[in-house]
Amino acid sequence: MARHLVLKDGTVYSGEPLGADIEAAGEVVFNTGMTGYQEILTDPSYAGQIVLLTYPLIGNYGVNNDDFESSQVQAAGLIVREAEGSPSNWRSHGTLDEFLKSHNKAGLAGVDTRAITKRLRSAGVAMGMLTDGSPDGALARLGESRDYSEINFVESVSTSSPYAWGFSGREAVDEPAGEYACKLVVLDLGLKYNILRRFSALKCRSIVLPQSSTQEQILGWKPDGVVISPGPGDPKNLQRAIETVHGLLGKVPIFGICLGNQMLSHALGGKTYKLKFGHRGSNHPVKDLVSGRVTITSQNHGYAVDRESLAGTGAEIDQVNLNDGTVEGLRHEGHRARSIQYHPEAAPGPWDSRPYFAEFIETIGKAGS
């Protein structure tokens, strides 16, 4: 039985079924990373998207119980050239196909992923559907569906209630805190677990709050600093969260990551725009304009900060992408706020930018002195 990828412009690619036997719709995007497919699939920033992996062989080391970046598979679907059915790794607990089926997610294998990638690069990302049925029927349903940018995906991926993350991982907020260097509040817009792990390694306890939290609720925890997490979708759909971040400016040190960078930009009076095909992969070079250092970063975003819109806001652009010149980091010294567009926690990806976690903790120390 064939499975089809149908794009909204009517283009059809046919291959083999992978994962669950269901229909899946979403924005079709591509990721250039060679490894980390389990982390990618469980990254909340991929909510509402069908992810195409450009590396041709996926699944060769299987899946395990450790490499989750959230509690479930978040991507709408997966597209690969070849899905390995006999993985070999000491941590493996099953195949990619079994993993997708257990989470009721559809995938597609046996297609020319290079051809699809080239189309997305030239025409831009597009809404698509994975279906075992008629491509014409799928195209008709796509025509009736909402565009990716119209949907607030953050509401569906954020935690519904507060929880804490400490030395032993996730825990109740009222559990004994232990000896920590600082307490952070993390506004969950689509949080990856490895962000919490990195702060825990620096002896910080994180209190994770829902995306609807107000500035009063956040400050009520008396945090030493606030982290604005990554997440999916168009930041312009998050006006409540933007107002919350705006209300925190100057009251507590702020660190924004990925979507958090865009949220800080909006809170300062800036704007964002949609990229043609986004930045998704583990090999994006970024230059720090203050230190002159270049790091290779892990990225996953489809929107970017409008450089010109920051004029007069007091924000300083301090990092840029060396591939296309887009804004990769900004800071506002007066508000003790800074943010970066990429993922310093990686998972997957290189560890070059991990020092920015420690830099934020140092900022907190200065703020408290």
pLDDT tens readout for residues 24-42: 999 999 999 999 999 999 9
pLDDT band at residue 368 using 50, 70 and 90 as cut-offs: low
Q: CA angle, corner 219, sides to 178 and 206, nearest 5?
A: 35
**Which among 27, 39, 69, 345 is annotated as catalytic?**
345
Verify that 273 and 363 share a domain, yes or no: yes
Do 145 and 163 have their domain in common? no
Cα radius of gyration (the chain): 20
Domain final residue pick, 150, 179, 198: 150
Q: What is the pLDDT of residue 1?
A: 82
- Cα–Cα distance between 282 and 259 in angstroms, integer? 17
Of 99, 119, 150, the residue at which a domain comes to its end is: 150
Q: Is 46 helix (H, G, I), strand (E, B) or coil?
A: helix
- Whether 366 has a pLDDT exceeding 90, the answer reads no
Identified catalytic residue from 4, 284, 332, 343: 343
The CATH number for 330's domain is 3.40.50.880
Please give the average per-residue pLDDT across 82-99, as a whole number: 97
Type of residue at 336: R
The percent of residues above 90 in pLDDT, for the chain, comes to: 96
The reply to whether 343 belongs to the active site is yes
182 carries an active-site annotation: no
**161 plus 105 within the same structural domain:** no
Q: Are residues 144 and 167 in the same domain?
A: no
Question: Are 142 and 158 part of one and the same domain?
Answer: no
User: Is 258 a catalytic site residue?
Assistant: yes
258, 279, 284, 335: the active-site residue: 258
CA separation for the pair 193, 286 (Å, rounded): 23
Of 110, 126, 150, the residue at which a domain comes to its end is: 150
Query: Do 299 and 185 belong together in one domain?
Result: yes
**Domain range holding 211?**
154-367
Closest to 233 in 3D by CA, of 292, 293, 151, 157: 151
Residues 136 and 279 in one domain: no
* pLDDT band per the 50, 70, 90 thresholds, residue 176: confident
369 pLDDT more than 60: no
The pLDDT score that the predictor gives to residue 175 is 85
Whether the bond between 176 and the residue before it is cis, its omega within 30 degrees of 0, is no
Output the pTM of the full model: 0.96
Residue 90: its H or E element: none
Residues 250 and 362 in one domain: yes
CATH code of 18's domain: 3.50.30.20
> How many domains does the structure of the chain reveal?
2
Judgement on whether residues 195 and 83 belong to the same structural domain of the protein: no
- Do 141 and 167 belong to one domain? no
* Whether residues 158 and 145 fall in one domain: no
Continuous segment of H or E residues that includes residue 193: helix 193-201
pLDDT in tens, 193-219: 999 999 999 999 999 999 999 999 999
Please indicate, yes or no, whether residues 134 and 19 belong to a single structural domain of this protein.
yes
Q: What is the pLDDT of residues 225-237, one digit of tens each?
A: 999 999 999 999 9
